[in-house]
Amino acid sequence: MSVITARDVRRTYGETVALDGVSLAIDAGEVYGLIGPNGAGKTTLVRALTGTTTPEGEVELLGARPEDADPERVSLLPQEFSPPERLTARELVDYYGGLYDDTRETDGVLDDVGLADDADTYYENLSGGQKRRACVGTALVNDPDVLFLDEPTTGIDPQGRRDVWGLVERLAEAGTTVLLTTHYMQEAERLCDRVGLLADGTLVAEGSPEDLVSRYGGAPRVEVRVDDEEAAARALEAAGYQLVPDERRLLVDDVSPEDIGAVADTLADAGVSYDGLLWRQPDLEEVYLQLTGQTVGSGGDPREVGE
C-alpha cells in the first residue's frame, strides 16, 4: 500500500519551473531516494510531499492531504536546520519530543545516533558531524511511520555516516517508510529500495539502483589518471576506443578487466605517461549521465552528488 503518492505535481516560482509533472508512489517500509544536482527539484518535491509548499497536482501522505496527515506519525529533517544552540544534545531531543504526545526515550535516541557520550554537550560546542547527528535524533524522537530526510549525513564523518545508514536500515526493517535525498551515490545504492532521478524538475527514471544500472549504466569503463588528458584522449580515440563524456575525469568505455593492458599499451606507444588506470563498474552516477547528459558529482567523495 502506498503511503506517499504524487500525481502530476507541478511547482513554479515566477518563471522558474521547479517541478514539472512529477508522479511517484512509495510503499510502506520502503526506502526511496531522490538524486539530482542543484536545482533539480529534490527539496521542492520534499516540501510538496510534506505540505510545506502547495503545488499543482495531487499529493497524498498517509491517505490524506499532507497538511491533514497525522503529525504524530510523520517527521521531517530539512537540509537547513538550526536548533537552539544553548541546549545540550539531550535537551534538544527532549525539547522536540515535547511537541508530541508519545515519544521514544531520549537516551535511546541519542544512543542510536551515536551521541550517548556527548548527551550533555551544548549544541554550539558539538562538531559539525555531531550537530547533524543531533538533528537526526530530533527527527526520530516521535518514532515516525514516515520519515523524510533531506541530506541526512551531510557533514558527518565516515563512521558517523555508516552509523546513520545502519539506523535507517533498522527503521526500514521495523516498517518505517523513508524518503531521503542524498549527496552520496554509495548512500543511495546501500540504503534505497528504489531511487528517482530528477533533472530540471522532471523525474527521468526510477527503479532499484541495481535495475537502473543494469538498464542504463552501460558497459564497464576504465578511468585514466593522467596529467595530459588531451594527449591521452587523442591516442585512445586514434586506437578506436570510445571515450565517455565526463567533465571530471577521462573515461574509456566498454573495457573488460582483461583489456586494461591494451589501454596501457596504447598510451605507452603514444608516449603518454599515466598515474593509474582504474577499472570501474557502472554506477548510479553513470546512469544519470547517460539519461540526462549531466554529471551530478560535487567533488570530495568521488561518488557524491549535488543537492
Is residue 286 situated within a structural domain?
no
| Rounded Cα distance, 53 and 149, in Å | 17
- The band of 129, judged by pLDDT with boundaries at 50, 70 and 90, is confident
User: Model confidence over 232-251: pLDDT tens digits?
Assistant: 999 999 999 999 877 778 98
Q: Are residues 159 and 272 in the same domain?
A: no
CATH for 228: 3.30.70.100
| 235 shares a domain with 93 | no
pLDDT of residue 303: 35
What is the C-alpha to C-alpha distance for residues 59 and 75, in angstroms, rounded to an integer? 17
End-of-domain residue from the set 190, 214, 238: 214
206 with 258, same domain? no
Q: Which of 37, 39, 44 is nearest to 9 (CA)?
A: 44
State how far the Cα of 296 lies from the Cα of 114, in Å rounded to an integer.
30
pLDDT at 161: 85
Q: Which of 265, 212, 214, 278 is nearest to 235 (CA)?
A: 265
Within 13 Å, how many C-alpha atoms sit on residue 86's CB side?
0
Q: Give yes or no: residues 204 and 94 share one domain.
A: yes
**Whether residues 26 and 139 fall in one domain:** yes
Confidence of residue 96 (pLDDT cuts 50, 70, 90): very high
Residue 30 is assigned to a structural domain of this protein:
yes
The burial class, CB within 10 Å (0-12 / 13-18 / 19+), for 21 is middle
Mean pLDDT over each residue of the chain, to the nearest integer: 90
Angle at 24 (CA atoms; ends 299, 246), nearest 5 degrees: 25
> Do 194 and 73 have their domain in common?
yes
For residues 11 and 153, membership in a common domain is answered with yes
% the chain with pLDDT above 90: 69
Residue 130 and residue 275: Cα distance in Å, rounded? 37
Specify whether 142 is located in the same domain as 57. Answer: yes
Q: Tell me if 288 is assigned to some domain.
A: no
| Span 133-150, pLDDT tens digits | 899 999 999 999 999 999
pLDDT of res. 245: 79
Task: Give the mean model confidence (pLDDT) for residues 38-47.
Answer: 91
**Is residue 282's pLDDT more than 90?**
no
Q: Is residue 108 within 8 Å of 140, Cβ to Cβ?
A: no
pLDDT at 151: 87
pLDDT in the model for residue 297? 58
pLDDT score recorded for residue 18: 95
Q: How confident is the model at residue 293 (pLDDT cuts 50, 70, 90)?
A: confident
Q: Give the confidence band of 39 by pLDDT, cuts at 50, 70, 90.
A: confident
100 lies in some domain: yes
**C-alpha cell belonging to residue 241:** 576506443
Tens of pLDDT, residue by residue over 157-168, are: 888 888 889 889
What is the number of other CB atoms lying within 10 angstroms of the CB of residue 254? Answer: 13
Tally of structural domains, the chain: 2
Q: What is the mean pLDDT of residues 91-104?
A: 95
134 and 6 in a common domain: yes
Output DSSP code: residue 69: S
- Using the predicted structure, report yes or no on whether residue 76 has a pLDDT greater than 50: yes
In this structure, the answer to whether residues 227 and 243 fall within a common structural domain is: yes
One domain, residues 188 and 105: yes
Residues 189 and 81 in one domain: yes
Give the whole-angstrom CA distance, residue 110 versus residue 20: 39
Residue 236 lies in a domain: yes
Q: What pLDDT score does 301 carry?
A: 38
Q: Are 49 and 148 in contact (CB under 8 A)?
A: yes
- Residue 196 structural domain: 2-214
